[in-house]
């Protein structure tokens, strides 16, 4: 038996590397359509939202009508979310 996770990782690096790669692939799965999959924002992760998903979400927002964007920007929560997405252009992790 191993005394710690560190010892287990040190004695089984290939197993841990494979586990971490599989976990990253599972965390990076995409939804059915463009943008950020709703399940990534409504559940406990870990989920990885990649740059492409952020770009698609911001592009969809930009294509919205002026009245839809004005309504969203009048809502402090939505305005903050859009501003945050613009800063998170490389992607982010949901935990």
| pLDDT score, position 89 | 87
* Helix-helix angle 51-63:76-87, to 10 degrees: 130
User: Nearest-CA neighbor of 54 among 27, 69, 77, 36?
Assistant: 36
Domain spans in the chain, listed from the N-terminal domain onward: 31-94
Confidence of residue 27 (pLDDT cuts 50, 70, 90): low
Beta carbons of 48 and 91 less than 8 angstroms apart = yes
This prediction's pTM: 0.73
Span 5-28, mean pLDDT?
76
For range 37-56, the mean pLDDT = 91
- Find the range with the poorest average confidence among 23-27, 78-82, 83-87: 23-27
* Model confidence at 1: pLDDT above 60: no
């Amino acid at each position: 038996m191993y005394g710690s996770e560190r010892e287990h990782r040190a004695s089984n690096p290939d197993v841990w590397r494979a586990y971490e790669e599989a976990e990253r692939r599972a965390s990076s799965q995409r939804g059915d359509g463009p943008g950020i999959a709703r399940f990534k924002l409504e559940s406990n992760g870990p989920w990885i939202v990649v740059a492409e998903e952020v770009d698609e979400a911001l592009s969809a927002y930009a294509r919205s009508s002026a009245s839809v964007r004005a309504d969203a920007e009048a809502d402090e929560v939505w305005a903050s979310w859009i501003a945050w997405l613009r800063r998170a252009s490389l992607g982010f992790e949901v935990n």
